[in-house]
Structure 1
Amino acid sequence: MSRFEELDKLVKDGMMDKEAADDIKEKIMKKALEEKNIIMPTITEHMRKGKLQYTCMIPASKSRNGKRHQITGKTREECEKKWAAEMYDIEENGKETAPETISDLMIEWMRKKKDVKKQTLSGYHSHFENHIKNAPFADMKIKDIRLQDCKDMIAYLIEKKDGTAGMGYNTVRHIKSEISMALDYAVANEYINANYMSTVKINQGLCDTTRARKSKAWTDEELQELCSAALISWEQKQMYRHSATLMAMIFTGCRAGEFCALEWSDFDEKRRTLTINKTLTSYRDYEADKHIQTLSTPKTPDSVRVLELTDEAVFWLKEVKRRQIERNIKTTHIVSSSSGHYANQRDLNVRFEVFCKANGLEYSPTHTARRTYASVLYDGGVPVSEIARDLGHKKITTTMNSYYKPRTSRTLTSQKNAVFVTAVTAGTKTLKTL
């Protein structure tokens, strides 16, 4: 473990203040640079957009990629610290050669991508390994990439290969975005001058739709059947313990990861509230080459919320607890395995499918519960702003565009019939008076 890693561990363990650790790091870096006779260059100050800015240069002979590089800071001290940190890193880890191919660029970009969650980075790695690395585009030199090459890459993703269907729109969109971000990184590091992928349009009509699952929300009739089956199967056979979990998810509208992360301490039965402040995530750590399951922060800042629970939500949460007690499962988790450990979204989907098929019900994945929560409330006249708050959405357009699903309803059909009958009758009366 390096000296810097030791300091970071002390900070993480609460044994040292971060500012104190940063001061020690700065002294280590300056001493190492002085010993190698690397002298701080001249710092200049100038006005930019009405604000004072401090800059200094790392010459091409000293830079990581062999190109002259500018360091910028809001204060002279910040500029000095940034320069020392970059020069120390270059001296310790050596210079890097600029990536030549798209494949090289993607690998370097992902390695240095530190501003996203690890599970997001895992998705980037998965797309690269499965869809980018073996494409002809990946072997092209980045300095030779032009607009048509980027268009050809998108066409490659969409086209059918070896008799199999091409990719769906959302997958193509995500891959295009990742390649574009890598090319933006290349521009920022002066490897290339332009990112042509950013201007490419995806023809959604050409993308594959055969594997797309039609999203839905359960109807009132289906909800009644689910409730009945969940109660009867447990009372009569002590089977399908997680059917209560499914019902609790429907009546709280939580994301599956959020619900799987819940502790019983998050449920306040007296105040009838449920606190959402974490999510259980599973992903592949490609650098460590292992599967990770861990708690993480919720999807967005607005996802941190306290739900005011309905009678149904309270009932099914208590039902989840009752079943754990009857099975003698000792756990702090609301959603747990038989051994009391975390159960994840994949576990739940398997159990929900078994439950639905055993009771002759149509199975839908866990996210259907969240869409059902939104749809039932909206159909019942609850303001969309309140539904969006419950779901942790910042914008009501997200709620309406992605989560509200019209549900089959005889009442609405009858209402439409009545409207048309009135219109036709009125027209007939008009004709008779002419």
Structure 2
Amino acid sequence: MDLEKHKNDTVAQVVEMFLEFAKGDLKKQTHSRYYRAYVNYVKDSSFGKIPARKIKKYHCDDFIRTLTNGTIVYSYVCQIKCIVSQAFDYACDREIMSWNFMRKVKINEDRCKEHEDKELGVWEDDEINTLQSGSMNCWNKCRKYRNSPALFILCGTGLRLGELLALKWSKVDFERRTIRIERTQTEYTDYDTNSKIYEESTPKNKTSRRTIVINDFTYKWLMEQKRRTKQAGIESEYVIPANSGRMVKESNITSTFKAFCINVGVEYKPSHTCRRSYVTNCLDKGMKLALVSRNVGHKNKSTTLNTYYKCKNDYEDNLAIQNEIFKIYDFDFGGVQKELAFA
């Protein structure tokens, strides 16, 4: 590297240089996320315009302080700091900078934006039943919403939407009743062309590569999806294909789900609701947490339980379950309490 050429590089130039250097080592969607953070918070900021070799700790403190103004959540501020710090390490290794002062900066979490508590619901049983009837009627009568079975396949497997959209029939074994998850659809922005890219990639972590079973509910909707694809005259290796036979984009299937729900008269819920519904149904019916967690590809069982489970048991179910549990303490009072039962 020509040090003389880079001795006056600004912070923004150093970060951009680092991102270009790291491009081959990062997943494309991760690089896209890092670059977006750079563009939004570093590139045109006063901090970004300072010559990197003149950076002191107070510059870094001031920069982080501008981020902790109540508009950005703590985790994202941490990510921005991490990106800049990695860039400064890169610059120090190449003697563009003498010291990485960003490492010493602390983030005041109390000054960051609080996470919004979103209502993370599940599909109710009657909603799923209405949607199933609606899906069959819309297709058989009007040939509409060809890919609506995807919603039920998600509910029956707990797959991420990207995993289902990248799923090929070659990974579905109807004889052994298994599905092998090895790919997922990713979306990112190519900042060289400023365009959205949709492509297959490996799942987010090792536990996401998994084999799951095909239960009867899922089997029927997979077969229904196959029937509709054939009736539409589409030849495709994908389970959920676009009209062209290629992999359908996540934004397009989301639009299909929204239009389908409106048509059937059921309030639309995001695709991840299907994943929470799978977890909730399995745990409510007694499946072991470890198995449910493995089925959905979580690294930690706590994520499955604390983030994805939403108790559906109504009063009658709750009462019946507890009565069954506490039969172990059943005691005969000999009728002495009858007169107080409804006092």
Q: TM-score, normalised by structure 2?
A: 0.82
Q: Which amino acid aligns with 2:19?
A: M
Q: Whole-Å Cα distance in 2 between the matches of residues 364 and 176 of structure 1?
A: 34
Q: CA deviation at 1:317?
A: 1.0
Residues 107-126 of structure 1 mapped to structure 2, 5 A cutoff: 107-113=16-22, 114-126=24-36
Q: Which amino acid aligns with 1:139?
A: K
Equivalent residue in structure 2 for 1:200, among 106, 109, 112: 106
Alpha-carbon spacing, 1:214–1:295, altered in 2? closer, same or farther (3 Å):
same
Q: Whole-Å Cα distance in 1 between the matches of residues 245 and 69 of structure 2?
A: 46
2:172 is aligned to: 267
2:259 is aligned to: 354
SS in 1 for 2:6: coil
1:324 is aligned to: 229
2:11 is aligned to: 102
Alpha-carbon spacing, 1:145–1:335, altered in 2? closer, same or farther (3 Å):
same
SS in 2 for 1:112: helix
Is the 8 Å Cα contact of residues 250 and 373 (structure 1) preserved in structure 2? yes
Q: Whole-Å Cα distance in 2 between the matches of residues 179 and 116 of structure 1?
A: 16
1:135 is aligned to: 45
Q: CA deviation at 1:111?
A: 0.7
Alpha-carbon spacing, 1:417–1:381, altered in 2? closer, same or farther (3 Å):
closer
- Of structures 1 and 2, the one scoring higher in RCO (CA 8 A, sep 6+) is 2
Q: Which moved more, 1:132-141 or 1:246-255?
A: 132-141
Q: CA deviation at 1:334?
A: 0.7
Residues 387-426 of structure 1 mapped to structure 2, 5 A cutoff: 387-407=292-312, 409-411=314-316, 414=319
1:256 is aligned to: 161
Is the 8 Å Cα contact of residues 61 and 105 (structure 2) preserved in structure 1? no
Is the 8 Å Cα contact of residues 150 and 197 (structure 1) preserved in structure 2? no
Is the 8 Å Cα contact of residues 163 and 185 (structure 2) preserved in structure 1? yes
Q: Which moved more, 1:142-151 or 1:276-285?
A: 142-151
1:178 and 2:83 matched = yes
2:329 is aligned to: none
Alpha-carbon spacing, 1:136–1:306, altered in 2? closer, same or farther (3 Å):
same
Alpha-carbon spacing, 1:325–1:372, altered in 2? closer, same or farther (3 Å):
same
Per-residue CA distance 1:270-327 (angstroms, 9 max, x = gap): 1111111112223222235444332211111222111111111111111111111122
Equivalent residue in structure 1 for 2:244, among 336, 339, 348: 339
Is the 8 Å Cα contact of residues 302 and 394 (structure 1) preserved in structure 2? yes
The CA RMSD over aligned residues, in Å, is: 3.1
Is the 8 Å Cα contact of residues 219 and 408 (structure 1) preserved in structure 2? no
Is the 8 Å Cα contact of residues 284 and 290 (structure 1) preserved in structure 2? yes
Residues 228-307 of structure 1 mapped to structure 2, 5 A cutoff: 228-307=133-212
Name the larger-Rg structure. 1
Is the 8 Å Cα contact of residues 8 and 53 (structure 2) preserved in structure 1? no
Is the 8 Å Cα contact of residues 345 and 366 (structure 1) preserved in structure 2? no
Identity percentage of aligned residues: 30
Q: Whole-Å Cα distance in 2 between the matches of residues 402 and 192 of structure 1?
A: 43
Show structure 2 runs of 5+ residues with no match. Answer: 326-336, 338-343
SS in 2 for 1:293: strand
Q: TM-score, normalised by structure 1?
A: 0.66
Q: Which amino acid aligns with 1:141?
A: P
1:380 and 2:289 matched = no
Q: Whole-Å Cα distance in 2 between the matches of residues 314 and 295 of structure 1?
A: 24
Q: CA deviation at 1:97?
A: 1.9
Show structure 1 runs of 5+ residues with no match. Answer: 1-63, 67-94, 161-165, 420-428, 430-434
